[in-house]
Amino acid sequence: MGKVIAIDGPSGAGKSTIARMLAERLEFVYLDTGALYRAAALFFSMKGIRPDDSDAVLAEALKSAGIHFDKGKVILNGKDVSPDIRTPEVGHYSSVFSARKIVRDFLLGVQRKASLGNDLVVEGRDTATVIFPDAWKKFYMDASVAERAKRRFRQLKEMGLDVTEEKAERDVIERDARDQGRAIAPLTKAKDAIILDTTDRSIEQILETILDIIRSDP
């Protein structure tokens, strides 16, 4: 296993943007674990599998699911599905299906494999607690609900979707409750993670803070 920088936090905290830029600056491999959960949700929806289907049904389906992340793209059975996983519907189902142990177990191996022979910047919900508990550096990124809702609203608008700020805020609150409240690997701050509040800070400021921390303790 190479050096791992693990960044967890709720949706809209800024993890993906920062993690991608950090990986570029350090020449580490970048792994977006949310994209893996989204690809799994897309796969289930293509197969007509529903959230109330049994573990046995999910397990059987997963036998034919090949999911991995490569150079910023998520690949499902050989096809780049990166644009397809960004819809609100896939986002919703990824959060729902990610509460299932069978799905988490399936993706655990995919995530750990990414660190073999690579230095890695990985971001998600349980990367510092469950997937890489011995990570070299751990961060927990957060921002106020209002700020995260604003970011989500802007993102959905840019995608050309019909959305209101109230709806974006409701979605953020609902997603937080599900990701933090599930029984298996809920979103929590690792005891040894450094907390970064991104509410009133620019991407560059956060990036510099992280780089300073890394430089001061190489």
175 touches ligand DC by CB under 6 A: yes
Among 95, 115, 129, 198, binds ligand DC (CB under 6 A): 95
Among 127, 138, 140, 142, binds ligand DC (CB under 6 A): 127
**CA-CA distances (angstroms) from residue 150 to 7, 34, 94?**
21, 20, 21
Count of residues near ligand DC by CB under 6 A: 15
The backbone torsions φ and ψ at residue 67, rounded to the nearest 5 degrees and listed phi first, read -125, 130
38 touches ligand DC by CB under 6 A: yes
**The one segment of 66-74, 94-102, 156-164, 196-204 that binds ligand DC by CB under 6 A:** 94-102
Handedness of CA 58, 121, 128, 135 (dihedral sign): positive
Q: Residues 5, 28: contact at Cβ < 8 Å? A: yes
| Dihedral, 99, 159, 35, 57 alpha carbons, nearest 10 | 50
Among 44, 58, 62, 126, binds ligand DC (CB under 6 A): 126
137 touches ligand DC by CB under 6 A: no
Tell me the closest approach of the beta carbon of residue 210 to ligand DC, in angstroms: 18
The backbone torsions φ and ψ at residue 175, rounded to the nearest 5 degrees and listed phi first, read -65, -40
Residues at the contact surface with ligand DC, assessed by CB under 6 A: 11, 33-34, 37-38, 91, 94-95, 98, 124-127, 175, 179
